[in-house]
Amino acid sequence: MTRLPENKVSPRDSKLNGRHFECVIIGAGMAGLASGIRLALAGKESIILERHNASGGLNSFYSIDGHKYDVGLHALTNYVPKGTKGSPLTKLLRQLRIPYDALELSPQIHSKIHFPHCELNFNNDFSFFESQVAEQFPDEIDGFRRLVETIRNYDALILEAKLISTRATLIQYFNNCLLKSMLL
Ligand SMILES: Cc1cc2nc3c(=O)[nH]c(=O)nc-3n(C[C@H](O)[C@H](O)[C@H](O)COP(=O)(O)OP(=O)(O)OC[C@H]3O[C@@H](n4cnc5c(N)ncnc54)[C@H](O)[C@@H]3O)c2cc1C
């Protein structure tokens, strides 16, 4: 990974010395690093350019008085037990050649979205979360199921897809402002 120079000199002037790369990845967050690993495994000569002095992006840390505070992700979305076939996690680990056991994963026991007068509990069983929405927001459960169906059928690999805001999407499915805020 190469840190971009502060004063925006061209790569030809910097320590890259005009070296040619087949792929340039902007940003060393999770997405950039995962892309870099995949491209390297595919034999592509690639470079990751990062404007900060550390990689990780949002999944990072800050230091105060010599102590490091981890502000990165604590839960891995789409957890499945070892050996589960065809899941996003299984595919990703295979593509990145990371052994399942290296992550030392364990299922989340209990998480919650906590607002002053309402909370939605969830764990790795999605039907439990659905039942929580049905219990707290009975008038919105049909919209919730339609949204889930839309997300499941969405093809995230369409390059021509236009950027749409999450907030604008939620408005199409829900009337209840509290639920919209809790899902954001
Ligand atoms: C407090 C917190 C808790 C979270 N908890 C979880 C969790 O429990 N589970 C979960 O799944 N997710 C969690 N997330 C979300 C997860 O961290 C992010 O979805 C993920 O890190 C995003 O990765 P990314 O590579 O897409 O983007 P980013 O992490 O934003 O990385 C983008 C990188 O690109 C760099 N960059 C941008 N523009 C340029 C440029 N022009 N030139 C050079 N470099 C550039 C940035 O400096 C950055 O390093 C959490 C996020 C936060 C903030």
**One domain for residues 100 and 123:** no
Q: Tell me, yes or no, whether 69 lies in a domain.
A: no
Instruction: Read off the pLDDT of residues 141-157 as tens digits, 9 standing for 90 and up.
Output: 999 999 999 999 988 78
Q: What separation in Å is there between the alpha carbon of 29 and the centre of ligand 1?
A: 5
**One domain for residues 175 and 121:** yes
Q: What separation in Å is there between the alpha carbon of 30 and the centre of ligand 1?
A: 6
Q: Tell me, yes or no, whether 70 lies in a domain.
A: no
- What is the per-residue pLDDT for 169? 93
- Residue identifier of the C-alpha nearest atom 1 of ligand 1: 71
Instruction: Read off the pLDDT of residues 166-178 as tens digits, 9 standing for 90 and up.
Output: 999 999 999 999 9
Instruction: Calculate the CA 43 to chain-centre distance.
Output: 25
Print the domain residue range for 103: 75-107
**Would the CB of 59 count as within 6 Å of ligand 1?**
yes
**One domain for residues 142 and 80:** no
Q: How many distinct structural domains can be found in the chain?
A: 3
Question: Which residue has better confidence, 71 or 29?
Answer: 29
**One domain for residues 59 and 91:** no
**One domain for residues 86 and 133:** no
**One domain for residues 102 and 120:** no
**One domain for residues 115 and 179:** yes
Are 87 and 78 in contact by the 8 Å Cβ rule? The answer is yes
Are 40 and 32 in contact by the 8 Å Cβ rule? The answer is no
**Would the CB of 50 count as within 6 Å of ligand 1?**
yes
**Would the CB of 51 count as within 6 Å of ligand 1?**
yes
**One domain for residues 82 and 128:** no
**One domain for residues 90 and 118:** no
109: left (phi over 0), alpha (psi -120 to 50) or beta: alpha
- Residue identifier of the C-alpha nearest atom 31 of ligand 1: 29
